[in-house]
Structure 1
Amino acid sequence: MPYRQVVGSTDLGPPTDTLPVTTPRFGGPAELAAALDSVGYLPDTGLAAAAFLALRLRRPLFLEGDPGVGKTAFAQAMADVLDAELIRLQCYGGIDASQALYDWNFPRQILELRAAREAAGGTPDVTSLYTREFLVRRPILKAVETSPSVLLVDEIDRADDEFEALLLEVFENNSVSIPELGTIGGAVPPLVVLTSNRTREVHDALKRRCLYHWIDHPDLPREVEILRRRVDGLPDELAGQVAAAMRRLRSANLVKPPGVAEAIDLARAAVELGERSLTDTLADAALGTVAKHHDDRAEVRRLLAPAPLVASGSSAGPDLPDRVDLPDRVDLPDLPNRVDLPDRVDLPDRPRS
């Protein structure tokens, strides 16, 4: 049974969290989809096929889609079915190697240096400070050394171009180069899942090394089933109403259209409030679960529970009769059918000056 391998300097020592490789083998996309279904994630056919090939071909899987469609939840589900550790790297502007790969424990190094200086009475050897004992493993290095593992590089579109180049080097060799130690690699590469909300275009060089899949919003039946599974005690009628409301909202011109996560939050709020249908009361109380931008609040409120054309029991405005009877015919006075005009009108001659 293969274990993680460490390549490079011999003073690295054995890893402290060596795990055997126990990655399950799936016979095909349908079998993987069934496994994901068993842990509560309902993938479409394309996503199951892309994930299956990513496992077999040992390629990173690049997922794009609108926020809230289940990209991050997919990585967690894959970690569950693979019985692997999920290691998450949240990207942001300015992220670099010290946050993604590794760093050194500088406070501990300083304390060790002072202690060695006091004991030796001179200048100690600083090379002893750059050993695995003082190494701080960041998510990518930890994923390379851990088998099995799922590395989630979340929202790669928020990172800079230089960070994409850093990922290319790591994914190419499944190893991390540390000048002070050498090259640390693993026997089995982790399953890498990169997600993007498409706030910017990721470079083609990174996409070419990945399998690509676009995750769209689920159709109505699949979203209803997701709500049933994720929300305990949710009435079937309410699940259908929430899913239908989400479709109306996603087709509207909103600043931040709701995803599946917002649908789940709305359904959970309904259960907590004791509501069994999508009413005006629920729309008012749970508006914050769906409307995530101030400019969207009015439109979201209108589309969540559309108001009836005539409000029952309303006391606003003057009382009007239920019916106004109009006469069948209004007689007008007789008018002449024709007005006779003279054939010619003689005008006086223009006076001469």
Structure 2
Amino acid sequence: MTDETAEKLDSPEKLAQVLEGIGYLADTGVATAAFLALRMRRPLFCEGEPGTGKTSLAVALAEGLGLPLIRLQCHEGIDAAQALYEWDFPRQLLHLRALEAAGGGQLDAEVAEQSLYTERFLLARPLLKALTSAPCVLLVDEIDRADDEFEAFLLQLLDENAVTIPEYGEVKARTPPLVVLTSNRTREVHDALKRRCLYHWLEHPGLQREIAILRSRIPGIGERLAEQVAESVHRLRAMELLKPPGVAETLDWARALRTLGRDGLDAEVAAATLGAVLKYSEDLDRVKAQLDTLLA
């Protein structure tokens, strides 16, 4: 983030303006939470239903602040080797052979070990990259997919902006990264992690804001089409669907209709394009049976 940008961001409203300039329309709650995380140098824990803009917020913050985005996608079984670092074993082995050859077949074990565990052979994964590349935005995406052990592993990083590598020592960020953690709440994240973060629950946008998002992200979209798509998506979210559509699906549906040259939404074209907004056959069948209500 440049000094000029930092000086301008003296309020949540100014940050919201920066985000709006790159197409992310933040409401007051989101803008305030992000502003406080930035100014207080605290991680921001964003929780909410899929498609409410949690990941997009981190992407928008990186772009708006002029910072690199480093993303760690969590999944079941993720461990330190995937998230933090690995040692480059093939290069270490070649190095040992070179040392042995240079010593005429003799190898000093202590000297060899000291030379193996250096930055030269350290393969940085997202968390280590974030500490050594800061300032940056570190996105820890879908932390609820990881297990308890990985959550505990993150605590030192969130507390100290540092991690400890047993063979190498502590690596500490000179400038703390802006950390954004997201969760779809497939399971409860432990209090120990949440206590270290500012917390914000993201809702689906209101109707008028979703219309504004469509106009911002799809230049040239007609007012009638934007309103019809947003209103229809809001009705879909009120139905008991397996996967209610998020903002990304709203945008996909509007782009699909625009690609077909449509400036309005009727039952025929809605039935043909529902695959852009619904992803389960059961949801498709349920909605197709109620299209007249959906488009009323």
TM normalised by structure 2 equals 0.93
Q: What are the within-5 Å matches in structure 2 for residues 235-314 of structure 1?
A: 235-303=222-290, 306=293
Matched, 1:156 2:138: no
CA drift of 1:75 comes to 0.3
Q: Provide the aligned C-alpha RMSD in A.
A: 2.0
Which of 160, 168, 172 is matched with 2:155 structurally? 168
Matched, 1:190 2:177: yes
Q: Conserved in 2, the CA contact under 8 Å of 1:21 and 1:188?
A: no
Structure 2 equivalent of residue 136 of structure 1: 123
Structure 2 equivalent of residue 75 of structure 1: 58
Q: What are the within-5 Å matches in structure 2 for residues 1-353 of structure 1?
A: 24-25=6-7, 26-120=9-103, 121-123=105-107, 125-303=112-290, 306=293
Q: What CA deviation, in whole Å up to 9, does each residue of 1:281-337 have, x standing for no partner?
A: 32233221111112111123345565899xxxxxxxxxxxxxxxxxxxxxxxxxxxx
Number of residues paired by the alignment?
291
Letter of the structure 2 residue corresponding to residue 24 of structure 1: A
CA drift of 1:126 comes to 3.1
Q: What CA deviation, in whole Å up to 9, does each residue of 1:157-197 have, x standing for no partner?
A: 00000111111111111111112222111122110000000
| Compared CA separation, residues 103 and 177, structure 1 to 2 (3 A) | same
Runs of 4+ in structure 1 over 3 Å off: 19-23, 302-309
| Compared CA separation, residues 258 and 153, structure 1 to 2 (3 A) | same
Structure 2 equivalent of residue 5 of structure 1: none
Letter of the structure 2 residue corresponding to residue 72 of structure 1: T
CA drift of 1:114 comes to 2.5
Q: What CA deviation, in whole Å up to 9, does each residue of 1:330-349 have, x standing for no partner?
A: xxxxxxxxxxxxxxxxxxxx
Letter of the structure 1 residue corresponding to residue 17 of structure 2: A
Q: Which has the larger radius of gyration?
A: 1
Is the deviation greater in 24-33 or in 262-271? 24-33
In structure 1, C-alpha distance between the alignment counterparts of 2:94 and 2:146, rounded to whole Å: 34
Letter of the structure 2 residue corresponding to residue 231 of structure 1: I
Q: Conserved in 2, the CA contact under 8 Å of 1:143 and 1:190?
A: yes
Q: What CA deviation, in whole Å up to 9, does each residue of 1:206-246 have, x standing for no partner?
A: 11111000110001110001011112332110110000011
Q: What CA deviation, in whole Å up to 9, does each residue of 1:74-131 have, x standing for no partner?
A: 0011011211110000001111111111111112212222333333323352321111
Q: Conserved in 1, the CA contact under 8 Å of 2:235 and 2:294?
A: no
| Compared CA separation, residues 304 and 44, structure 1 to 2 (3 A) | farther
| Compared CA separation, residues 21 and 118, structure 1 to 2 (3 A) | farther
Higher helix share: 2
Seq. identity, %: 56
Structure 2 equivalent of residue 12 of structure 1: none
| Compared CA separation, residues 240 and 186, structure 1 to 2 (3 A) | same
CA drift of 1:23 comes to 6.7
CA drift of 1:148 comes to 1.6
In structure 2, C-alpha distance between the alignment counterparts of 1:185 and 1:210, rounded to whole Å: 19
In structure 2, C-alpha distance between the alignment counterparts of 1:217 and 1:118, rounded to whole Å: 64
TM normalised by structure 1 equals 0.78
CA drift of 1:22 comes to 8.0
In structure 1, C-alpha distance between the alignment counterparts of 2:285 and 2:149, rounded to whole Å: 42
| Compared CA separation, residues 307 and 92, structure 1 to 2 (3 A) | closer
In structure 2, C-alpha distance between the alignment counterparts of 1:307 and 1:219, rounded to whole Å: 17
Letter of the structure 2 residue corresponding to residue 61 of structure 1: L
In structure 2, C-alpha distance between the alignment counterparts of 1:261 and 1:22, rounded to whole Å: 32
